[in-house]
Chains A and B, each alone.
Chain A
Amino acid sequence: MDHTPPPFFKRGPAPLVRLFFFASLSLALLVVDARFRYVDGLRSWLALAAYPLQRAATWPIDLAMGVGGYFSTQANLVEENRQLRERALNNAQDAQRFQAAQAEANELRRSIGASEKLPVPASTAEVLYLGRDPYAHKLFIDRGSVQGVRAGSPVVDDVGVIGQVTRVHPLVSEVNLLTNPDQAVPVQVVRNGLRAVAFGARGLPGMLELRYMGANAEIQNGDRLVTSGIDGTYPAGLAVATVVKVETDAEQAFARVLCRPTAGVDRGHYVLILNNDAQLPPRPDDAQTKDRRGEKTRRSKAKDKSADKAADEQ
C-alpha cells in the first residue's frame, strides 16, 4: 500500500520553498546584471515583448494632442505663425553670422593644420515615455539597433543636450538624462572658458551641479555652460545649462554650483540622436602611464623583464 495523497491535494512545493527559489534566482540575476552585464540578450528579448504595451501606452497622449490640435483656433495659428516668422528672421541673421564664423574658423584651423570639423550627422526620434523607476533618470525613444542607434550617442533637443544613449534594444533605446547623478558631462563656461564636469544634482531632481569646483573658481549666477567636446562623446558647443546658484562654504574645499538644464530634460516630444564619430587618437597604453602604482605597474614590470630576457636569449 502506498500512502501518497490523492492528486487533488497536490500543490507542488511549499510557498516558502518557492519564495526561496525565486528570491535566489532574482538575486543571482541582479548580481549578474549589475556586475557582469551577461544578461543583455535576455533583456533585449524581454524589452521586445514589452514593446507593444509601451507603444500602446503612448496612444492616449497622442490622441489628446491630436484632439487638442484639431480644436486649435485660427487666432492661435496666426499668432504662432507670427512668432515663427520672427524666430526665422532671427535665425537667418544668426545663420549668416555662423557661416562667416565657420569659414573663418576653417581658415584658422587649416592654418594651424588641425583637421577640419565635419558636421555631425543626426537622426530624429520620438520620446516614448519617461522611465517609471523613480531611482533612475531615464527616457525611452522609439529608435533602436534596427535603425542604427548606437550606445554612447549624445541626445539633444532643439535647445540643448538631454543626455546620452546608454542601452540599445532592437526597437527602443534608453537615454540616461543629464539629471542623473551618475551621468557626467564635460562643460565649459562660455564667459571665460573655465572647464568643469556637470553631474545630476543629488537630492534635487531636475537640476545639475558642478562638482570639484574650487571655492575660488570664477563662476557666477547666469553663466552659460556648453559642452567642451573634450571627451569625444559630445560635440563641442552644445548648450547644457545655466548657473543658478553658487554657494561657497568656508569649511569645504569645493564650491557648490547648481545649474538648471537648458534643454527640456523632462519635456518635449522629439529629440535628435547625434552619431558622433570623432576620430580620436587611441588611448595611451596603460603600461606607459606609470602614475598608477600597485598591481598594474608590477605586472608591467614583470612583462618588461620577460621581454628583456627574451631579447637576451635572442
Chain B
Amino acid sequence: MSSRSQILMPARTSTVIGSFVLALFLNFLPWPDMRLVPDFVALVIAFWCVRQPRLVGLGIAWMVGLLTDAGNGVLLGQHALAYSVLAFLSVWFSRRILWFGPMLQSLHIALILLAAEAAVLVVRLAAGDAFPGWPIFVRPLFGALLWPAVTWLLLLRQRRPTNEPAI
C-alpha cells in the first residue's frame, strides 16, 4: 500500500543535498513566465521540514533563501525571510500534515506556500515595488498540486524493496 503502511528507511544526507541542488537548478531554468512556475525550492524545504524536522530546519531554509536572493539579484533577505516562515510552519504542522492523505496534505501545503509568497509580497511592497498581479497567488497552488509527486520522488530512496523477505 502507500508509504504510510510501511516503515521507511532513514533519510540519507546525500538525498537531501541532491534534492536541494535539483530544486535550485529547476528554479534557475529560464521559464517564460515566472509567476506561474511553482517554487521548487520552497516545495523541497516544506517536504524535508515535514518529514525530517530534526534534520532540516529553519537554519538551512534561511541559508538556501539567501542563495536564492543572491542568485536572482533581488533584495538580500526576502526569500530568506519567506523560507524561514515556510520552514517554521512546516515544522509546526509536521505531525498534523502526515496524518492526512495526499490530497489533504496538498491543501495544507498550499496554505503554507501561500504564507511564504505573502511574506515576499509584503517585503516587495514595503520596498516600493508595484503589485505584480494576481497570478502571483496561482504559483503556490501549482506548487501544492505537485506535492504528491514530490513526496513520491523524494521518498524513493527511503522505501524498502518490496521483494525483501519478511523476517
Chain A residues within 8 Å of B, Cβ to Cβ: 11, 15-16, 18-19, 21-23, 25-30, 33-34, 39, 42-43, 46-47, 49-50, 53-54, 56-58, 60-61, 129-136, 138, 140, 167, 174, 181, 202-203
Contact = CB atoms under 8 A, between A and B. Distances in A.
A129 B30 CA distance: 5
Main secondary structure of the interface of A (DSSP, over half): helix
Given A47-B71, A53-B28, A134-B132, A15 B77 contact: no
B143 interface: no
A50 B67 contact: yes
B106 interface: no
Interface stretch (B8-16, B52-60, B148-156): B52-60
Contact of B57 (A18, A43, A167, A181): A18
Task: Give chain B's interface residue range (CB within 8 Å of chain A).
Answer: 35 or more
B142 interface: no
A125 B62 CA distance: 32
Contacts, number: 129
A134 B34 contact: yes
Interface of B: 21, 24-25, 27-31, 34-35, 54, 57-59, 61-62, 65-67, 69-78, 80-81, 84-85, 88, 91-92, 123-124, 127, 129-130, 132, 136
Contacts of B58: 15, 18-19, 21-22
Given A50-B67, A57-B30, A135 B77 contact: no
Given A43-B76, A60-B29, A25 B70 contact: no
5 contacts: A18-B88, A22-B81, A135-B124, A135-B129, A136-B129
Contacts of B65: 26
